[in-house]
Structure 1
Amino acid sequence: MRLWVEDNGIGIASQHQERIFRTFERLHGIESYPGTGIGLAIIKRGIERMGGRVGVESQLGQGSRFWIELPQGDSNSE
């Protein structure tokens, strides 16, 4: 199953899309966009620990579509 979250921001160039999931990685200075650069890294690590994956589809000036994918669980377990 895949869950999508979309924004209408500035978009992310394809060569930088993997970088945004690294700890403290920022594509712009703090004066342009606030934040520490750790949020997406935390999400990626948590999802991967649950056996899932994360990713982004984006183009400059078009916004971004972030996704998380988790493995299907056993519906019989408690």
Structure 2
Amino acid sequence: RQSRIQVSNSQEIPAEELARIFERFYRIPSSDPWKEGGTGLGLALVKQMVDQLRGSIEVSSAAGWATFTLHLPHLPQL
């Protein structure tokens, strides 16, 4: 059994960038580097934590939206 968490953001990610967004220090190139802040570590840290929990994360993007889906194993109650 798995639990699923889905989060959507109203900013589309270009298709050619989807494969790289979980890399450390990677930021999507834009014409104005000061418009969007960040170090490029946030999604890399999320991916690392999901991996440690033996889960998975995927992203899709279309029609002005990016959707992240996390699949986490269901842990028994202790």
Task: Tell me the TM-score normalized by structure 2.
Answer: 0.83
Identify unmatched segments of 5+ residues in structure 1.
Answer: none
**What is the DSSP-based 3-state SS (H/G/I as helix, E as strand, rest coil) of the residue aligned with 1:28?**
coil
Of residues 47, 51, 65 in structure 1, which corresponds to 2:50?
47
Q: Kindly, what percent of the aligned residue pairs are identical? A: 28
Q: Which has the higher strand share?
A: 2
CA distance in 1, matches of 2:10, 2:51: 26
RMSD of Structure 2 on Structure 1 (CA): 1.5
Equivalent in the alignment of 2:59: 56
Q: How many residues align?
A: 74
Structure 2: which 5+ residue stretches go unaligned? none
Counterpart amino acid of 1:16? E
Task: Identify the residue that residue 27 of structure 1 maps to in structure 2.
Answer: 28
Q: Which runs of 4+ in 1 moved over 4 A?
A: none
